[in-house]
Amino acid sequence: FTLDVWERYIGQPLVWHFHDHHDRLEISILPDWDNAQYGYGFLELGSQFTKDGSALPFSLDFDIIAHEVGHAFVYSVLGIPKPGAEFPEYLGFQEAFSDCVSLIAAMHFPSVIENVLTVTRGNLYIANQLSRFSEFSPHRQIREANNKLTMADFADGWTDEHALSQPLTGAVFDILVDVFHESLVDRGLISPEAEDLADLAEIYPTAEAPLQKVFDRDFTRNPDGFVEALLDARDIVGAYLAETLWALAPDFLDYRDVARTMLAVDDRVTGGELSSIIFRDFDRRGIFRYRAGPRLTRPDRKSHVHEGRIARPRDQVRLPDMSYFEKYWMSRSGAEL
């Protein structure tokens, strides 16, 4: 399903980044492993374990599978940085883009759209299926699309690429919400004053209650119009993300490149109609002013960096002969290639 959705945005069938050496993706279900990863020719899916010891298989979790498919698109379209050309933001971009792939794909389920609008009445900053998702949802919410992190939080250093991804994911979610609001105004479904109040509510919590009253009233008048506006916003953001991915280069990639490229996409597509929204939402996240500092700790076992995910046949010459069992446990230990 995710492949079908995102191949439409990308504009062509996905070409696996491992196609030179493998003619298909191998999917492995590893019920005793507490993570999931996409790699060179494989997708591995483990489980989450609850306090009572029961296992919740990731193979049944749409968000997790869609997130890992997102990595497949990044590796296929963007590629991998050359040695010595990998900025921290490349790793964060991998996670942020994959989260956005999951988010946009989920928005193609009518039941998700219905649930989101029923709960929020169009005020998407309320926690719901769209703003709360992660590699472990719906079982356990770890990252939020609607988060408050900025790049200033990582200027002195970072420890985890998933956390580092949050300012970029948050900026894209903000753009989605603001495009949705613009569409509602254009359709006459909310007033410009309501849109201004929504902008204030992002900064001042005291505006949240009055804003919700406005959305409760306006949504009731035309629920179908809200659905159409949200679907339009979904497709605009999905298309912009895809065009941005095509235009980026992996070497020395940082979030400013992502922001500037998306602005260029908007200029080409609409003549800059959404440029003020895009610039503001990236700027609020400190993306134009800060870059990620150094990594402060070595990758832990939850990280996918420099292990099985990116191992290619040419990497094998750097490794001693090992059995599959040895390679498996090396990747699980977080050892770098």
pLDDT in tens, 132-154: 554 444 434 435 677 889 999 99
Query: What is the pLDDT averaged over residues 109-131?
Result: 84
- Neighbouring CB atoms inside 10 A of 277's CB total 17
Q: What is the pLDDT of residue 335?
A: 47
Whether 69 shows a pLDDT value over 80: the answer reads yes
Q: What token pair was written down for 91?
A: 């790793």
**Range(s) of the domain holding residue 22:** 2-333
CA 26 distance to own-chain centroid = 23
Whether 307 shows a pLDDT value over 90: the answer reads no
Q: Is the Cβ–Cβ distance between 75 and 242 less than 8 Å?
A: no
Q: What is the pLDDT of residue 337?
A: 43
Whether 313 shows a pLDDT value over 80: the answer reads no
Q: What is the pLDDT of residue 53?
A: 82
Whether 275 shows a pLDDT value over 80: the answer reads yes
**Strand arrangement, sheet containing 26-29:** 26-29, 42-45, 36-39
Whether 276 shows a pLDDT value over 70: the answer reads yes
Those residues whose C-beta lies under 8 Å from the C-beta of residue 94, and which sit 6 or more positions away, are 71, 74, 161, 165
Backbone angles phi, psi at 301, to 5 degrees: -70, -15
**Could you tell me the pTM of the whole model?**
0.86
Q: What is the pLDDT of residues 18-47, one digit of tens each?
A: 888 888 999 999 988 888 889 888 999 989
User: Residue 57 carries which DSSP code?
Assistant: E
Whether 183 shows a pLDDT value over 90: the answer reads yes
Q: What token pair was written down for 248?
A: 């980026």
Q: What is the pLDDT of residue 336?
A: 45
Q: What is the pLDDT of residue 316?
A: 54
Those residues whose C-beta lies under 8 Å from the C-beta of residue 88, and which sit 6 or more positions away, are 154, 158, 161, 164, 292, 293, 294, 295
Q: What token pair was written down for 26?
A: 């191998």
Q: Lowest-pLDDT range, 68-82, 107-121, 139-153, 200-214?
A: 139-153
Q: How many domains does the chain have?
A: 1
Q: What is the pLDDT of residue 130?
A: 65
Whether 274 shows a pLDDT value over 50: the answer reads yes
The Cα 272–Cα 294 span in angstroms is: 35
Would you place residue 215 in the very low, low, confident or very high pLDDT band (cuts 50, 70, 90)?
very high
Mean pLDDT, the chain, whole residue set: 86
Whether 95 shows a pLDDT value over 60: the answer reads yes
Query: What is the pLDDT averaged over residues 102-109?
Result: 94
Q: What is the pLDDT of residue 141?
A: 40
Place of tokens 């992996």: 250
Instruction: Burial-class residue 176 by CB neighbours within 10 Å (0-12, 13-18, 19+).
Output: buried
Q: What is the pLDDT of residue 301?
A: 57
Choose among 189, 285, 205, 230: nearest CA to 197.
205
Q: What is the pLDDT of residue 96?
A: 95
Q: What is the pLDDT of residue 128?
A: 63
Q: Is the Cβ–Cβ distance between 12 and 245 less than 8 Å?
A: no
Q: Lowest-pLDDT range, 56-60, 124-128, 148-152, 154-158?
A: 124-128
Whether 172 shows a pLDDT value over 90: the answer reads yes
- Neighbouring CB atoms inside 10 A of 331's CB total 19
Q: What is the pLDDT of residue 324?
A: 47
Q: What is the pLDDT of residue 52?
A: 86
Note if the bond before 138 is cis, omega within 30 degrees.
yes
The Cα 41–Cα 30 span in angstroms is: 16
Query: What is the pLDDT averaged over residues 198-209?
Result: 87
Q: What is the pLDDT of residue 333?
A: 52
Would you place residue 327 in the very low, low, confident or very high pLDDT band (cuts 50, 70, 90)?
low
Whether 160 shows a pLDDT value over 70: the answer reads yes
Q: What is the pLDDT of residue 147?
A: 84
Q: What is the pLDDT of residue 34?
A: 85
Whether 334 shows a pLDDT value over 90: the answer reads no
Strand, helix or coil for residue 152: helix
The Cα 229–Cα 106 span in angstroms is: 16
Whether 51 shows a pLDDT value over 50: the answer reads yes
